[in-house]
Structure 1
Amino acid sequence: MELSLFVPSCSRLKKYGKKYYGVRLYRNCVQEIWHEVVQPPFEGTPRPPHPHGRHGYPPRRSRRPRQLHQHPVNAARAATAADACAGVSIDFVELPFPCAAVGLPDGCENLDLLPSLESHHVELFFSAAALLRDPLKQYLLAQPPSSAFMIADACNPWTRFVVGELRMPRLLFYGPSCLYTLCARMIKHHIIWDRYKDDPFEPFDVPGLPHPLRISMARMPWLLTAPGWEGFLEEIVESEATTDGVVINSFDDLERVYVDCYNGNMEGKKVWTLGPLSLVHKDPDNKAARGNRVSIVVGEEHRVIRWLDEKPARSVIYLSFGSVVRHDAAQLMEISHGLEAAGRPFLWVIKEAEASSQEVEKWLSGFEERTAGRGIVVKGWAPQAAILAHMAVGGFMTHCGWNSTIEAVAEGIPMATWPHFGDQFINEMLVVDSLGIGVAVIDGANGRAVVVKREEIAKAAARLMDEGAEGEKRRERARELGRKARKAMEVGGSSYLNFTRLVNFVLDYDRVE
């Protein structure tokens, strides 16, 4: 079996016995590598039987990894994860990202590398991604006949035309939570964005959910309301209508009610929850290898872990706001003052771009001196999965991006939620209101851009690390979800079985010759 996974500028191939291709186009590069799902936790474990009497997986072949091409940016990021699977054949096939063709600077292969997140630059990014249609089709046509399938990010709706010509099944991968994905589907299906485009702050109830959920368009992705994006939305709706199924990085015990509701609205098409993908790597070195490791300063990763090793269990607040959220100098200063006032041990990750101005460098130096021994500031990339898995970490102040959120859930860590845009507000509702494992940094956040004051940050930190009855209940709920997350990925767990069913679906797919 051969599994090929593509991101906008590079791909990875995985060798097994019978050959088939899977294609994944992920708008934010390789956040979770598909080979992580295929290898552990299934490597070396019993395989569930196929419903028709066959094994769920064909025999493995032992081959050396082959590396065909590496594009400087995306391939370098993906290679660190590939190195962790030395016993599995993984190849990179370069599909050069056509930045120049749409007027983007060279190397803008990911949203976090764009000059800005304004509508114009994001539109150019998706236009460039759509230009991969013909190169991808030509590459697949040049391969030997196979049982092929495609996994495409939902924000690459053009992939439906590729599978139409190649007669292969196509699955959509949704990066956000199932709750957000369900809300977005209902809002698009009922064309709600058109009713509230003149007042994006007016709240409304999302129809078709298993319980009331009130939100405003200002707390949904801006492309749902931004002028000029109507055509792109229609393409996404059509892409979902023609998909053969949906893949989500979640697990049944976390979002069962939303998974069931989503399945009920997919007209017979299956939704597979396969997460948490971050739990695939059990080895600490492999956990640390995930993400944009190529950007880390030499020795910084080990400095972080050594610092955590010296702290008491569950005493440290970890602060990180993802790869895209950018704080200005005023907000960074408020965070620093809030951390000082909180008086708790902390590990704070700041982007290099945020810390590059002379103003920030000056006050940051003084802040680090005042909090030496109690806190540590990391500039650039940090090994988040390894940090969250460390016994010293007791709470996570996060922007509520889904990768960060489910990684915290997987490790049983409660959260202080600080959403900024996109799916993050709904993820906060899931964490705080539905699951009861988080506290909101901003009470009643409505999507308006504001500078969060130091008092609110200190208060949220205190509530997050509360040692009283309320805090202990929150921590126990988080620990219980962590146990359920690990169980989902074990042999016989829900995500394990869902992956088996997905593979069998592909093998049984009725292709028209």
Structure 2
Amino acid sequence: MATQHERQRQQPLHILFFPFFAPGHLLPAADVAAVFAARGARCTILTTPVNAGIIRPAVDRANDGGSGTVDIALMPFPDVGLPPGVENYMALTTLQVDCRAKFMRAVQLVREPFSRFLANNRPVDVVVSDSFFSWSADAAAEHGVPRLVFTGTSVFARSCNESMLRSNPFETTTANEGDPETLVSLPGLPHRVELRRSQVMDPGKQPGAWAFYQSNNAADQRSFGEDMAGSGANINADVDKDCCLRWLDTKPAGSVVYVSFGTATRFSPAELREISRGLDLSGNNFVWAISAGESTEWMPEGFAELTANVGDSRGFIIRGWAPQTLILNHPALGGFMTHCGWNSVLEAVSAGVPMVTWPRYADQFYNEKLVVEVLKVGVSVGARDYYASAMENHEVIGGEVIAESIMALMGNNEQGDAIQKKTRELGGWLGARSRRAGLHTALSDG
């Protein structure tokens, strides 16, 4: 007769995934859970009802494959005074600043349902929780469960952020302290990485954000192991992806630039107007994914006709969630203007699509350094300001500059040709590695 220890060992490993409430965190976590489930683990994703709807398509595909099971466990989203249904960071882009503070308060309050789940669903062998849930390291330890960190960002950006938090180069960069053009060096990295003061988080000006990242990093250090077509979510059922793909089918190979800045990035009307001018001036075909609730008052005269979303129009506008991996892997794609979120960078490189980089906050300026200076698969639009808040006003990049960056990437010129060639080589190398490993990675950005 088997002993209790032997019976326990016969049970599959139970992994609890607890991703942050944003598409760029939820979807990669669901994909990782599917990989573990396919290898025999019992995987549960703990989230709220609205966020469950975001990952449901990915989970259903994993379960339909028959090689493993991923379960979704529901918990209530805390009542912090947000409008009904606002349970995801993506929904905050059109709301007031105080709503973001309420949302982050809710992020702290979900500790209680998280702990209750661990208490009522034994055994959980390991927790894989988002770095933004810094309290989860202690909460998991209280139940004797090891916690692994899910960061959803690149090792390069992670290293840059670690260097920032450990050394605080602002304390050692005393020359021209008030000059946003002063270069800040990040020590301890194999490559020389320098950014302007305006491109990185200043702990003196953003003490709250600095403390947030320090708290996350400290919790991560205490954690265990600190170290295509069907992809994405059905977040906006109104998006007619077939219409977009049919429009792309009418365009010559490599002629279209795709513009998307993720689900949490917000531009002022003046910035949107300059982006539209830049797309017009570039002369290229384009697909532009913008917020579903964005007004059209910023559109310059004639731009609506330019983006009629018909075969002979130069532009196609998608409002809301875009089928990004399908677009990037379409033969008509020649370039991608991106905020440099890590999921977007991964998808672009995997598809062999070079980038026009326009970082705004978080790890994005670090990712730009990797794309433009280390991998050499992109052109910078010249963004200089770190946005600590979506409501901040910064220098507006002109349409002429935007058009110039697009043409440098997409045009028949020495720089563009070299970047295109390098991107194809890197994309082919990644594809070969994935095929040899028997894995298919399909990540979608927030």
Q: TM over 0.5, yes or no? A: yes
Among 389, 401, 407, which residue is 1:462 paired with? 407
Does the alignment pair 1:32 with 2:27?
A: yes
Among 161, 167, 170, which residue is 2:138 paired with? 161
Does the alignment pair 1:136 with 2:111?
A: no
Gap regions ≥5 residues in structure 1: 1-15, 44-56, 247-270, 272-281, 497-513
Aligned partner of residue 378 in structure 1, secondary structure? strand
Gap regions ≥5 residues in structure 2: 1-9, 388-393, 441-446
- Matches of 1:72 and 1:223, distance apart in 2: 35
Does the alignment pair 1:377 with 2:317?
A: yes
Task: For residue 361 of structure 1, report the CA deviation from its aligned partner.
Answer: 9.6
- Matches of 2:172 and 2:284, distance apart in 1: 46
- Matches of 2:12 and 2:343, distance apart in 1: 32
User: What is the identity, as a one-letter code, of the residue corresponding to 1:178?
Assistant: V
Aligned residue runs from structure 1 range 351-500, under 5 A: 351-354=291-294, 356-358=295-297, 360=299, 364-368=303-307, 372-442=312-382, 445-447=384-386, 449-492=394-437
Does the alignment pair 1:215 with 2:154?
A: no
Aligned residue runs from structure 1 range 12-91, under 5 A: 18-29=12-23, 30-37=25-32, 39=34, 57-58=39-40, 71-85=48-62, 86=64, 87=66, 88-91=68-71
Corresponding residue pairs, total: 417
Root-mean-square deviation (Å): 3.3
Please name the residue that 2:274 is paired with: 334
The CA deviation string for residues 107-154 of structure 1, in whole angstroms up to 9 with x for no partner, is 3322222266887544432321121112111111112335x1111211
Aligned partner of residue 245 in structure 1, secondary structure? coil
Aligned-pair identity in percent equals 31
Please name the residue that 2:160 is paired with: 183
Contact 1:416 1:440 in 2 (8 A): yes
The CA deviation string for residues 39-75 of structure 1, in whole angstroms up to 9 with x for no partner, is 46996xxxxxxxxxxxxx44x89xxx999x9854211
Q: TM-score, normalised by structure 1?
A: 0.73
Contact 2:335 2:356 in 1 (8 A): yes
The CA deviation string for residues 199-221 of structure 1, in whole angstroms up to 9 with x for no partner, is 58343211111122112453234
Aligned partner of residue 471 in structure 1, secondary structure? helix
Q: 1:331 to 1:208 in 2, by over 3 A?
A: same
Contact 2:253 2:333 in 1 (8 A): yes
Q: 1:361 to 1:81 in 2, by over 3 A?
A: farther
User: What is the identity, as a one-letter code, of the residue corresponding to 1:36?
Assistant: D
Contact 2:272 2:298 in 1 (8 A): no
Task: For residue 237 of structure 1, report the CA deviation from its aligned partner.
Answer: 3.3
Please name the residue that 1:3 is paired with: none
Among 81, 88, 104, which residue is 1:110 paired with? 88
User: What is the identity, as a one-letter code, of the residue corresponding to 1:452?
Assistant: I
Contact 2:17 2:29 in 1 (8 A): no
Q: 1:389 to 1:33 in 2, by over 3 A?
A: same
Please name the residue that 1:170 is paired with: 147
Aligned partner of residue 26 in structure 1, secondary structure? coil
Q: TM-score, normalised by structure 2?
A: 0.83
Task: For residue 17 of structure 1, report the CA deviation from its aligned partner.
Answer: 5.3
Contact 1:347 1:378 in 2 (8 A): yes
- Matches of 1:447 and 1:217, distance apart in 2: 9
User: What is the identity, as a one-letter code, of the residue corresponding to 2:218?
Assistant: E
User: What is the identity, as a one-letter code, of the residue corresponding to 1:141?
Assistant: A
User: What is the identity, as a one-letter code, of the residue corresponding to 2:29?
Assistant: W
- Matches of 1:40 and 1:134, distance apart in 2: 28
User: What is the identity, as a one-letter code, of the residue corresponding to 1:365?
Assistant: A
- Matches of 1:392 and 1:237, distance apart in 2: 41
Aligned partner of residue 71 in structure 2, secondary structure? strand
- Matches of 1:38 and 1:362, distance apart in 2: 47
User: What is the identity, as a one-letter code, of the residue corresponding to 1:210?
Assistant: P
The CA deviation string for residues 393-423 of structure 1, in whole angstroms up to 9 with x for no partner, is 1111111111111110111110111112222
Aligned partner of residue 325 in structure 2, secondary structure? helix
Aligned partner of residue 150 in structure 1, secondary structure? strand
- Matches of 2:410 and 2:245, distance apart in 1: 21
Please name the residue that 2:235 is paired with: 294
Task: For residue 362 of structure 1, report the CA deviation from its aligned partner.
Answer: 7.6
Please name the residue that 2:390 is paired with: none
**Structure 1 stretch displaced more, 456-465 or 335-344:** 335-344
User: What is the identity, as a one-letter code, of the residue corresponding to 2:16?
Assistant: G
Aligned partner of residue 18 in structure 1, secondary structure? coil
- Matches of 1:406 and 1:127, distance apart in 2: 31
- Matches of 2:93 and 2:272, distance apart in 1: 20
Aligned partner of residue 185 in structure 1, secondary structure? helix
The CA deviation string for residues 8-43 of structure 1, in whole angstroms up to 9 with x for no partner, is xxxxxxxx9513223333242454343423546996
- Matches of 2:212 and 2:20, distance apart in 1: 17
- Matches of 2:221 and 2:426, distance apart in 1: 32
**Structure 1 stretch displaced more, 447-456 or 377-386:** 447-456
The CA deviation string for residues 169-223 of structure 1, in whole angstroms up to 9 with x for no partner, is 2111112221221111122112445667975834321111112211245323467
Contact 1:133 1:159 in 2 (8 A): yes
Contact 2:37 2:69 in 1 (8 A): no
- Matches of 2:349 and 2:95, distance apart in 1: 28
Please name the residue that 1:10 is paired with: none
Contact 1:133 1:158 in 2 (8 A): yes
Does the alignment pair 1:240 with 2:220?
A: yes
- Matches of 1:118 and 1:433, distance apart in 2: 36
Q: 1:123 to 1:224 in 2, by over 3 A?
A: farther
- Matches of 1:364 and 1:35, distance apart in 2: 38
- Matches of 1:38 and 1:457, distance apart in 2: 39
